[in-house]
Structures are given as structure tokens and as C-alpha cells.
Amino acid sequence: MFSKACEYGIRASIFIATKSSEGIRVGIKDVAKEIDSPEPFTGKIMQILTKSGIIESAKGVGGGFEISNEAIKSIKLIQIVDAIDGDAIYKGCGIGLKECSETHPCPVHNQFKKIRELLLTMLTNTTLEELALGVNSGDFYLKIFNKSE
């Protein structure tokens, strides 16, 4: 549903929020490892999130990525999705047609419209705070381990 970059961006934002709530800045290597993303690709995603004002970056000794507590409370998932993927996921055609509308619907237009509306509601109403709290409490997981790990 989301691009791979957007999936990684959401995971990275949640991970950084969990660490920031503990007063810890994280480096690119830690982010890439935690979200199972190649480090160079993670770096590009971090640039997008930083330019969008979702995360903050500090250089030098003690540097890394963080999100202020105020931002953790106010940032919604829609901001991350918009920064990385734009709004096509909740405005575009369900099967990728360029010309799909109420007057000229694709075969899945009416069913997909309902899904898009639910997705838009979830993205608009879900904050980084509630996801980070869920990860910190153990209710949610960012990384699923194999039984052998």
C-alpha cells in the first residue's frame, strides 16, 4: 500500500520517537538496523523527514536524530506519508488508472473509495505518540524476531 520508502519512514519515525521520549538521540546505523533498511536508503529517508520538519538532526559528538516531545504528541502519520509518498495513496485510483473519477469510475472505484476514506481517517487521527507509547509498552512491535533469535 505504501512505498517501501514510506514504510521505512514510518518505522524510523516511530523508532526515533520511542528513543526521543527517553531522551536518547539515535544515529543512522541504529535507525537502519532497527527498521531493517539499508543504511544509504535510510539516510535518504532521514533527509526527507528532516527537511519536512518531522525529525530533527544534530551533527557532531552526541548528535543523531530526535523528535521533540511536543512534536511527538502532534505529528500525525499523514505528515510522514505526505512527506515521502505525497497524497496519491488516498486520492489516486485503486488500480492506477490516470483517469478515474465519480463520472468515469474504474472497476474498483466505489469499493476503493471506502478504503481510501478509512485510510485517510487513520492517517489523520494517529499520532506518533500513541504508536511510540505502544512500542514502549510492548503492545506494538517494530521488529518481529524469528524464533531462532
Q: Are 91 and 97 in contact (CB under 8 A)?
A: no
How far apart (Å, rounded) are the C-alpha atoms in residues 94 and 100? 9
* Rg from Cα positions in the chain: 17
| 38 vs 6: CA distance, rounded Å | 14
pTM for the model stands at 0.90
Q: Give the total residue count for the chain.
A: 149
Phi then psi for residue 109, to 5 deg, are: -55, -50
Structural domains present in the chain: 4-137 (1.10.10.10)
Per-residue pLDDT of the chain (149 residues; tens, 9 = 90+): 789 999 999 999 999 999 999 999 999 999 999 999 999 999 999 999 999 999 999 988 888 999 999 999 999 999 999 999 998 888 888 898 988 889 999 999 999 999 999 999 999 999 999 999 999 888 988 876 544 44
Question: Which DSSP string do the residues of 26-90 spell out, in sequence order?
Answer: B-HHHHHHHHT--HHHHHHHHHHHHHTTSSEEE-STT-EEE--HHHHHH-BHHHHHHHHHTTGGG
Task: Provide the residue type at 105 as one letter.
Answer: P
